Amino acid sequence: MSEMPGEKCILVTGGSGYVGSHSVVELINAGFSIVVVDNLVNASMESIRRAEQITGQTITSYQIDILDKPALADVFSKHQFHAVVHFAGLKAVGESCLEPLLYYRTNVCGTINLLELMKEHSVCNMVFSSSATVYGTPQYLPYDEKHPTGKCCNPYGKTKHFIEEILKDICTANPSWNVVVLRYFNPVGAHSSGRIGEDPQSVPNNLMPYISQVAVGRQKEVIVYGTDYDTRDGTGVRDYIHVVDLAHGHVAAIKKMSEDCGYKIFNLGTGKGYSVLEMITAFEKASGKKVSNCDNTSLIHPSL
C-alpha cells in the first residue's frame, strides 16, 4: 500500500507474526499506511495476505532480517516513516536458556541496527513490544509499572530489559524521541474473521495454541503438572489478554506520540488471572471439543 499525501506511514518489524499481524490490521483500520519487514523465521507471509483480505488493502512487505542492516537501510530509503512498531525478535523462553548468544545478538543487536537507522533518517517515534518478563520474580502482585525490573529469570526477558534501558537512554539524550514501551502479559485469541490467529511453526511454546493442537489431533494431550501451586485448583495462573485488545493498545500508543510523550511504559493485561485448568475448560466450552490432559503424576510441556 503506497503512502497517500498526509497519510502517516508506520514501519512494523515482525509484522507477519501473531501480535504483529493483528496490529497491522488495527493500524490500517485506524488510517495508517503500513510497511512490514519480517525474516519469517517464526511466521509466514500468509498472515500478511490474510491481513490484506481483512482490510481490503495491499500491504507493502519485505522479507528482511533486522540484523541485515544494508537491506534494512534500503527500506528506510524508500519510505518516509512517521514511527516504528518494533515486534521483531526471538521469543521462546526455553530456547533463550539454551541459545543465549542467539537471543542477545538477534534481539539486542537487531534493535540497535534499527535505532541507528531511525536516527539517521530522523524517525524518532517507536512503540516497543516488551514483556512482563522484565519484572522477574514478583516483589508484589499485581505487577504495576513501578515494580522494579531487571531481575529477569531467563535470557529472553533480559533482552527485553536491555532494550528498554537503551530506549530510555536515547530519550534522555535526545528529547525529540518518543518511545512507548508496552509490557505484554499473555496474548491469546484470534481475529473475529478467523483469518489470522496464533499459528506456531513447530511445537507450541504457549498454552492456548497447544490446547488448540490437541483439540484438532496434532498433539496427543496437554500435559499438566505443577498441581500444588497456591491457586484455586493448584495449577499455574496467568493474566491473558485478547490479541485484538493488545493490537488496539499499539494504535493508542502511536496516537500517544502526538503529545510528544517522551519515554512512557504501559502494562497490557487484564489484571485478572486464569489457571491452566480453567483455560482448558473454557476452550472445551467454547469449541465443543474435549481436550485430553494428563493427571497430576505426569510430566509436562515446560511452557505450560
| Residue 254, phi-psi category: left (phi > 0), alpha (psi -120 to 50), beta (remainder) | alpha
According to DSSP, the β-strands at 33-38 and 125-131 are unpaired
The four Cα atoms 104, 108, 113, 117 give a dihedral, to 10 degrees, of: 170
Let me know: does 163 contact 88? Beta carbons within 8 Å.
no
Residue 102 has which C-alpha cell?
542467539
Cα distance from N-terminal residue to C-terminal residue, the chain: 39
pLDDT band at 55 (very low <50, low <70, confident <90, very high): very high
pLDDT confidence of residue 236: 87
Give counts: helices (H), strands (E), the chain.
10, 10
* Mean pLDDT taken over the chain: 91
DSSP character for 105? I
Q: What are phi and psi of 2, to 5 degrees?
A: -75, 150
Return d(Cα 171, Cα 197) in angstroms, integer. 34
Average the pLDDT over 54-60 and give the result: 97
Residues serving a catalytic function are 156
pTM for the whole structure = 0.90
The pLDDT tens digits of the residues spanning 272-302 come to 999 999 999 999 999 898 888 775 444 344 3
| pLDDT reported for residue 5 | 46
**Phi and psi based region of residue 166 (left: phi greater than 0; alpha: psi -120 to 50; beta: remaining):** alpha
CB 157 within 8 A of CB 150: no
